[in-house]
Chains A and B, each alone.
Chain A
Amino acid sequence: MINTVSSNIKNISTLEYKEKKFEYWGPTPDESRKLMVNKSHALKDKRMSLKEAVGKHIRDGINLGIGGFVNTRVPVAIIHEIIRHGARDLTLSFQSNSICPELLAGAMILDPDRVSIKRVELAWWGYEIIGIAPMVRYLATNGIIEMDDYTNYGMSVRFKAASMGIPFIPVRDHGGSDMELVNRGKMIECPFTGKNVYLLPACHPDVGIVHTTAADMYGNARIFGAYCTCPEIAMAANATIMTTEKVIPTESIRSYPNLTEIPFPVVDTVTEVQYGAHPGASYGYYWFDMDHIKMFRSICEDFRKTGNKDALKKYYDEYIFGCENHDDFLEKIGYKTLKKLKDMDGGQPIILT
Chain B
Amino acid sequence: MSEYTPFEMIAYTGSRVLKDERIVFVGTGLPIIAAMHAQLTHAPNLYMIYEAGSLAPILEMGMPLSVGDTRAARKACYLKGLCGAFELTQRGCADYAFIGGAQVDMYGNICSTIEGHNYDKPGIRFPGSGGAGAMAANCEKTIAIMALEKRRFVKKLDFVTSIGFGDGAPDYREKAGVLGSGPYRVITNQALFGFDEATKRMMLLEVKPGRTPAEIQELVDFELIIPPDVKEMAEPTDEDLRLLRDVIDAEGYFLKRVIKK
Contact = CB atoms under 8 A, between A and B. Distances in A.
Given A126-B127, A178-B160, A152 B70 contact: no
B67 interface: yes
Interface string A121-150: 011111011001100110011110011011
Contact of B158 (A14, A96, A123, A227): A14
Nearest to A15: B159
Nearest to A174: B133
Interface stretch (B40-48, B75-83, B187-195): B75-83
B105 to A, nearest CB: 7
B90 interface: yes
B79 A176 contact: no
A7 B128 contact: no
Contacts, number: 258
Interface stretch (A33-41, A42-50, A194-202, A294-302): A194-202
A288 B52 CA distance: 15
A129 B86 contact: no
A227 B173 CA distance: 31
A176 B173 contact: yes
B84 A152 contact: no
Contacts of A137: 124-125
Given A71-B68, A226-B54, A175 B176 contact: yes
A72 B64 CA distance: 12
B172 interface: yes
Interface residues of A, number: 76
A288 B107 CA distance: 39
A279 interface: no
Question: Interface majority SS on A: helix, strand, loop or mixed?
Answer: mixed
Interface stretch (A77-85, A154-162, A310-318): A154-162
A3 interface: no
Interface string B199-239: 00000000000000000000000000000000000000000
Contact of B178 (A136, A173, A178, A283): A173
Given A125-B127, A174-B137, A13 B172 contact: no
B118 interface: yes
A320 to B, nearest CB: 24
Interface stretch (A229-237, A243-251, A323-331): A229-237
B134 A153 contact: yes
A280 to B, nearest CB: 9
A227 B86 CA distance: 13
Interface of A: 7-10, 12-18, 69-72, 95-96, 122-126, 128-129, 132-133, 136-137, 140-143, 146-147, 149-154, 156-157, 160, 171-180, 182, 187, 195-198, 225-232, 281-283, 287-288, 290, 345-346, 348
Given A225-B70, A227-B84, 19 more contacts: A8-B172, A10-B169, A14-B156, A70-B67, A71-B69, A96-B131, A123-B131, A128-B66, A136-B125, A146-B120, A149-B129, A150-B133, A173-B133, A173-B178, A176-B173, A177-B162, A196-B177, A283-B70, A345-B70
Interface of B: 28-29, 50-54, 61, 65-74, 79-84, 86-87, 89-90, 105, 107, 109, 111, 113, 117-134, 137-138, 156-163, 166-167, 169, 172-179, 253-254
12 contacts: A9-B167, A72-B70, A96-B130, A123-B133, A129-B65, A149-B129, A152-B86, A154-B134, A172-B138, A196-B175, A232-B81, A348-B73
